[in-house]
Structures are given as structure tokens and as C-alpha cells.
Amino acid sequence: MSDLTGEVIDGRYQLTRVVASGGMATIYAALDLRLDRQVAVKVMHPHLAQDEQFVTRFIREAKAAASLSHPNIVSVLDQGWNQGGVPCVFIVMELVEGATLRDYLHEQGALSVERALQIMSPVASALAAAHKLGIVHRDIKPENILVSKEGRIKIADFGLARGALLGNTMTAESSVILGSVSYLSPEQVQRGVADARSDVYSLGIVLFEVLTGQKPYQGEDPVQIAIRHVNERVPAPSTINPDLSPDVDALVLSATDIDPDKRPRDAGVLLEKIRELSEKLDPRKRQLSLELDLPPLPIKQPARERKAKNSSPAKKEETPVKKEKTAPTKKKQLSSRVRRNRRIAASIAIFLGVGVWYSLLGPGSKVVVPSLAGLTVKEAKSTLEDLGLNLDIAQEEFSEDIPDGKIITSDPAGGGRVSPNGTVGVIISKGQERYSVPTVQGLKLEVAEQLLKENKLVLGEVKEEFSNEFPQGFIMQSTPAAGERIKRNSQVTLFVSKGIEQIALSNYKGKSGEQALNELTEAGFDVKTKYVFSEDLPPGAVISQTPGAGEADKGSTITLLVSKGSEFIAIPDVKLAKGEKAVKILRDLGLVVPEPKVRNWQTKLVSKISPKVGTKVKRGSTVTITVG
């Protein structure tokens, strides 16, 4: 691709220098003219921008990274199509000044265990954040791990990422081809499938390389390397670096197990293992507990006893009284009134004594009823039989407090009296009064209301919502849900379908395909984009849409036909240009240019070009140049 240094992308990002270049895109350092800050702009190669699959992958990278917020993931700031200048698809990211882990390993070689874990920990932490959102990176390798000048570790290039938030448009074959074969998990090689455990495997291979200075399998044939990943167990790192401990071997072998079920289930579990090993190697790294540890409360000293009074009351000295002899007196004679009162009192005492004897010991005695509340019928019968009493179940009632089958109350109640061989009546609990919510899904409102009444329940709030599954007027669900047992006369909320939501559909013909994709997706449509050549519209513009403007069901599929630009291109005048530069110019335009079979053709000037300058040919056509 031609160097775009100096160009202003999207009227905002001025490209200042090339940072890196790969098979899919070139990364530039740039100045954000609007916010006056340094950023990195990843510009897709123009010949790939015509390929729908590569554009989709490029956009997925932006969405994947933008959905993540983590200090160890390169932040994505913007994405779009450049409309005002050189046509291109671009992503704007934070600028990380530094090098890749690959460069770091080339300079440092194999690292110590402590340093390796120090690097792997933030990488695992970043992947754990992605896995928590259901996003799988699928291309973990040293080239995608950045080391900033300040020592910050960051993961980049989510171009192969896949997850529920991102969709799933790339084929298994393409993902295997695009991924780096030395770090692919066995399931990616065999079936083209990947989940969080596949990232764990790739990270385990990276850890192996960091500890030993080399990959587990060497060779120039990618197919043979992939086959070895499928059929062979990754060797222990200590077979290459004997100084490594069994604990380090166990960590790497666990992460790189051929069976995904035997690996840590995601990067979060692997991160815990890395931290445990790090703390085992250096206990000083163990983090302090965040639990609050309160000191014991001081025990109050008991109050002192009051002092006894200094003085106590003196005992009175008893003075013996000398008894004097008195002359005997005659006994006093009782009056008739006193004698009568005494006879009445004696009669009352005799009467009360006979009554007490009759009630407690005589024929009139009764049995005291014990408390029966909370007992089962069997337990109550046994208790009453021991007292010579009978049990009668008077009735059964619901109770919020007494469990089913146990006694709520008795008559007489506990402490009351009943005649010998008498009967005690009891009320038995039927448990809490509860009624099951009937299944009302798929019913009309009036039918559901009647069904609730039959089940001793009441229709509560009716909420209307759009639905793609249920026709208008039919019940989708209830709260509480069907089968749940609730109190009598409880209210049940019903959710009734308003049918499929109709959304206004604009006409995007001639507008940006990226704008149409974003707006339609945000509106709730499933957008399918097809790229074709157009002689009338510039690259990225919408040629047509199906269905057209009007209204459409939310969630329905909208097909956009987007221009890839003209299928034809005019042969530029590269005469008198050096052969190497001419070939580059022509190839960047999508033309096939064989290298001239002349010595030092790169530096010789072009003397002839076929087809002639200005001739319109299809992209992919062969153009021959003559030098010298």
C-alpha cells in the first residue's frame, strides 16, 4: 500500500509516520486535530477493502476492543470510512509507544520465572475481562502483546475475536488460516472452533516461549506444526530449561492440555493459578486481605460495690425487766354475739372444705387439659389417652404459622378442665393457604382472567410489550410465573403482546454504507451487506436496499448493496518512473504486474506499458511494463 503519511483521515486524523505494517493493514502514528492528542490509526490495505469478509473482520476488531474497558487492552477510540480523501477503512486506537513482546523476547531471550509471571499476569487479567463478556480473542501471540516504554502490558488486535456481542460471520477455515499456527489450540486446528479455553491454550504456549526462549514445536512447515499440536502433548518447559521447577511445568502443562475440559475454563481461573504460583515463589507478593478485622471491644470494669457504712447502728442494750408477781385473775366470760359469730365461721369453713374435696378429690373432680398446640394428631391422642381423655377433630383451617397436619388450638385450651373420660376438640392446620399460578401463556386476556378467578387469584397490572413470537392480544408471560404458589387473592401481572414492532425505514441509497449499517443495526434490524462493483457510485456508498423505505418489522433482515467502486481502472502513466515504483503503483490499484525479466529492473526507467496509458481495464487485469 502507498504511504499515506501527511494525509488527513476523516477530516480529523493527520497521519504523521508509519508505526507498523502487516498483511491486512498499516498502522500510523497520528495527531487528532480535534482533541490535539496523539493516537494510532490502523488503515486497511485498499485491495482488501473491496473484500466483504476482510471489512467485516476489520469492523469486528473495533467493536470487540471498544466493548472492553481494561487497563491492559488497547483502547479503540473511533472507526469509520474516509470519505473526503483517499478511500479507506480505518480504526483509531490509543497510541502505545514501545515494542511487541516478540521484540522484547528477541532482545532479552528467555526470561526468569518471576519476570515471565509478571508479564503473563496482566495479559491473563485482560483476557479474563474479555471472557467475562463472552468475547474470545482467538489470536493470542507475542506479536499481539505490546510492552509500552513505561512497562505497561497491553493486548491488541481483536480482529479474530468472536462472541455473543460481536456476531459470528467468519468461517472456521478463514479463522484457522488467519490465526498464527504455532499458537493455535488443537480444537481450532481440527474443527475451527474456539472458546475461552482456546485462548488459555495460546497463552500457555506464549508462557512456554517466554520461559524457554523458543516455541514448543520448531519447523518451517505450518501444517506439520499444526499436526503436532493436535497429536502431541506440549513438552514440559523444564526439558529445555532445567532450572524451571515442577510447579512451573504444572502451570504450563495445565494450560496446554490437548483436552479442553482439562484446561482452566477461562483466563480468570488461569490468572488465579499464576498468582498462586507467584505468591509461592515470593510470599511477599501475597496481597493483604480486604476483610475488616476489628479489635476486641474493651470489657468494662464492673462497678464497685458501695462501701459499707462506717458506722452501724448500735445494738440497744436490753435491760432485764424484773417480773413482778401478780395476783391470778378470773377468765373473762364470752358474750352470746361472739359465740354466734364463731359458730357461723366454723360452718363456712366446713362448707368450703367439703366443696374443695368434691371438686378436687371427690366425685366432682375434673382433668386438667395439657397444651396441644403444635402437636400432630397422633402425638395429641397419645397425650390425652394417658389422661383418660378422647380427641375430636372439630375442623381444619389454613394457618400461616402452624405447619400442615399440626394442631392450631384446642377446646378447652391448655390449662382448662374436662370431666374424666371427656373429649377435647381440636382445630387442625391445613398449612399456609397457597394457590398455583395457572399457565396463561398464549391465552387471550379475558380467558386468563377467568382462569385466575377459578384459582382464587386476582388479575393485577396488564403490561403491553412488542413481541416477535406472540401475535397481538395474546399473553406472553405472567409475574409470578406459572406454577408458583402464592396467597389467596394475590395479584398476578400479565404481559400482553402488542405484536411485532414496526420501525420507520429510511432510504440509504447513495449514502455511506457504514452509516446505514450502524443506524439500521441500532434500530434493531439484522443487516446483511453485499459489496459489488458500481460505475456510478463511489466505494462505500449504498447502491440499493431491500426492503426499501417505509416501515419494517423490528428484527427483520435488511439487505444493503454497497459499492466497491468502479470495476474498471485507467492505466496510469508510469513512464520514466523507476521499475520498482511503477510496479508498486500499478499493484496498489489492484492490477497484476509481472516483474520484468531484466537485470536491475527495479532501478531502470519504464519505457513502455501495455495496455497503453489511459486504457480502461478491469481490476485484476495483467499489465506489462518494459524497462530500459
Task: Report, as residue numbers or ranges, the catalytic residues.
Answer: 139
**The sheet that has 557-563: what strands, in order across it?**
526-532, 557-563, 542-546
Distance CA 407, CA 379 (A): 10
Q: Are 600 and 587 in contact (CB under 8 A)?
A: no
What are the DSSP E strand ranges found in 67-111?
76-82, 88-94, 98-100
How many CB atoms are closer than 10 A to CB 607?
12
Beta strand 526-532 with 367-368 is unpaired
Q: How far is CA 558 from the centre of its chain?
A: 30
Q: Are 591 and 568 in contact (CB under 8 A)?
A: no
Q: Which three cell numbers stand for residue 437?
A: 399460578
Distance CA 96, CA 589 (A): 31
Distance CA 415, CA 371 (A): 7
Q: Are 352 and 401 in contact (CB under 8 A)?
A: no
The 3-state DSSP class for residue 574 equals: coil
Distance CA 401, CA 82 (A): 72
Which residues are paired to 43 by β-bridges?
Answer: 26, 90
Around 459, how many Cα atoms within 13 Å sit in the side-chain half-sphere?
A: 17
What are the DSSP E strand ranges found in 406-457?
407-411, 417-418, 423-429, 434-436
Distance CA 95, CA 92 (A): 9
Residue 324 DSSP class:
-
CA 510, 511, 517, 519 torsion-angle sign: negative
Distance CA 226, CA 320 (A): 125
How many CB atoms are closer than 10 A to CB 432?
15
